[in-house]
Amino acid sequence: MRARSRLDSRRGQALSARIFVALGVAAAALGCAPAEPAKVPEQPRLAHSFAAAFDAEAEDPMAAAPYLAAIDAAVQNPGAPNALATVIASLDALVFGATPNLDLVRDHAIAYRSRELFTEVVERLRKAWLAGGGPRSAPAAPFMRGLLANALHRLALFIGDEQPASVWVRRRGCVDEAAVVGPLDAMPLLGLSGRAPGLGGWAAFPESFQGVPPFATDLRPEVVGADACAIDVNATSFLMGTRAVVVDIDNPRAQRVSFALTSASAASLEVTLRPAYGGAGDSSPTMYEPSGRLTLANPDPLYTQAQKPYGGGVNLQGYLGVRVSSWVSVGFMGGWRSSSATSDQTHDGLARSALMAGPYVRIYVPIVPVVEPWLGLGAAYVHDLQTWKGPVATTAGSLNVDQTLEHHGVAVPVTLGVDYKILPMIAAGLSFQYAPVFGVGGCYKAEGSGIASTSFCSDESADKKITASKGYGMWSLGLNLRLTVPPT
């Protein structure tokens, strides 16, 4: 037994020596070979995947699979370049419907194009959300899951499925309410570059804030509840300007907190055409009214307002503005107005027209989602012109010459209207407008063969002044045709 033990011991030592030598030789051999660089896993080409999905949809409007595959690849590789952008763009095509040039159509995204596609999209997005629940080393990972939950919440609301909608609205991580203060700054976009006054550091939440004078000098925070995760920051005031939105976050332990804010467009382009019928009084606002020794022999009856031949006519107005919120739009308007005229033997070719232009503001009062009553206020320069050919008394007798009455004024148009949204971007409705016009100047002119060009204006000196510029009123009843891009 002892001899066998010694033999086994010697064999073991020899075996150990051989193994040791072999390992040493192997190590030496490896040490002589050049080290190979560690292989880095190749990142998926997510931008190319989305481009391929876009091309596939162009050929087949029911092609949802390429977009879903792009989302799966992005969720599996959240740290890859363009991963978050791929999820956002793919969900726009599948669910949210942010396809260029198709904003006129409701629910045009791929998921709504057939029942089979709807079911497939819901199931694949649910699996993608579950797949993204692993370790979140990439900063984009929680935002991807939030976007997927947002899309699934939207789809559940579309079919009116209450139970999934309540689940996905919680998984979106929406705030239930927020304290809104504003307007703190009169410039909505420039105000974003700085910090809201009174909200820096760890100081207590102020009870009041300094706002924009004169209508919002003393502001107090108001709690605004969320409606399907959306907080209406204009609920506190219809005035334009920057708002501060304050929310409470309960963070029980040390961890990364991801916060996302989705906002509608800061402003929408608003274009309105308003064909209308209206009037501007039956007589001339520029009239004969001598204040000194100068007088005219037999002034024209239009000039003296002895004749009142004007009636209603066509009104064409155009508005180009910016919809800064769901409540307010501001911009520039212009218009042309004509008046019917009763001609006689002494007034050949009698015509009256006017041009107007100036800024406007429109305040909307949405009652239901598709009906928008509104009030419009503006200020405009108005140029009113009357032309005809008629007799003028001269030293050589009566001559038939061209005559004009010109009026310059400032109008304050007030418009009441109601629009109905036919499509998200297109609305139509009716409106009534009244505009008092305050006269600021006017002239009477006569020129023709056999007579020197003569003019009498309201800015002449007192002893030569025979022309006065009077005020008048304009009214019109019109049709509104409005285009808003993007839709509010």
User: How much is the pLDDT for 118?
Assistant: 93
Please indicate, yes or no, if residue 251 is contained in any of the structural domains.
no
Q: Give me 422's structure tokens.
A: 């036919």
CA dihedral 251, 254, 260, 261 (to 10 degrees): 50
Q: In this structure, is residue 15 part of a structural domain?
A: no
CA 398/CA 145 separation, integer angstroms: 89
Answer yes or no: is 31 within a domain: no
Task: Answer whether residue 463 is part of any domain.
Answer: yes
Q: Is residue 106 in some structural domain?
A: yes
Closest CA to 240 of 188, 195, 172: 188
Same domain, 167 and 183: no
User: In this predicted structure, what is the pLDDT of residue 107?
Assistant: 63
Do 165 and 186 belong to one domain? no
Are 100 and 107 contacting, i.e. CB atoms less than 8 angstroms apart?
no
Query: For the chain, what is the total number of helices (H) and then of strands (E)?
Result: 7, 18
Residue 295: pLDDT above 50? yes
32 occurs within a structural domain:
no
Q: Classify residue 390 by its DSSP letter.
A: E
pLDDT of residue 417: 97
Shared domain for 295 and 146, answered yes or no, is: no
Look at 259-268, 288-297, 379-388 and tell me which has the smallest mean pLDDT.
259-268
The pLDDT of 178-192, averaged and rounded, is 71
Q: Which of 93, 87, 53, 94 is nearest to 73 (CA)?
A: 87
Indicate whether 18 belongs to any domain.
no
Pair (129, 161) in one structural domain: yes
Q: Are residues 339 and 457 in the same domain?
A: yes
Whether 389 and 406 map to the same domain: the answer is yes
State how far the Cα of 106 lies from the Cα of 193, in Å rounded to an integer: 35
User: Could you tell me if 358 and 276 lie in one domain?
Assistant: yes
User: Is residue 25 included in any domain, yes or no?
Assistant: no
219 and 349 belong to one structural domain: no
Are 379 and 450 part of one and the same domain?
Answer: yes
With a cut of 80, say whether residue 124 has pLDDT above it.
Answer: yes
pTM of the model: 0.58
Quick one: which of 378, 407, 277 has its CA closest to 337? 277
Better-scored residue on pLDDT, 378 or 252: 378
Q: Are strands 380-394 and 371-378 parallel, antiparallel or unpaired?
A: unpaired
Q: Count of domains in the chain?
A: 3
Q: Provide the domain limits for residue 324.
A: 268-485
User: Could you tell me if 123 and 229 lie in one domain?
Assistant: no
pLDDT value of position 374: 97
Which strands form 177-185's sheet, in the order they lie side by side?
Answer: 222-225, 177-185, 242-246
Cis check for the bond before 142: say yes or no (omega within 30 of 0). no
SS3 of residue 305 by DSSP: coil
Same domain, 325 and 474: yes
Q: How confident is the model at residue 104 (pLDDT cuts 50, 70, 90)?
A: very low
Q: Are 346 and 395 in a shared domain?
A: yes
**What pLDDT was estimated at residue 126?**
94
Alpha-carbon gap, residue 125 to 111, rounded angstroms: 11
pLDDT, tens digit (0-9, with 9 covering 90-100), for 41-65: 566 788 888 999 999 999 999 999 9
How many CA atoms, within 13 angstroms, populate the side-chain half-sphere of residue 62?
A: 8
Angle CA(309)–CA(315)–CA(317) in degrees, nearest 5? 150
The contacts found for 124-128 with CB under 8 angstroms, 24 or more apart, are 124/68, 124/71, 124/72, 125/68, 125/71, 125/94, 125/95, 125/151, 125/152, 125/155, 126/152, 128/68, 128/71, 128/72, 128/75
SS3 74: helix
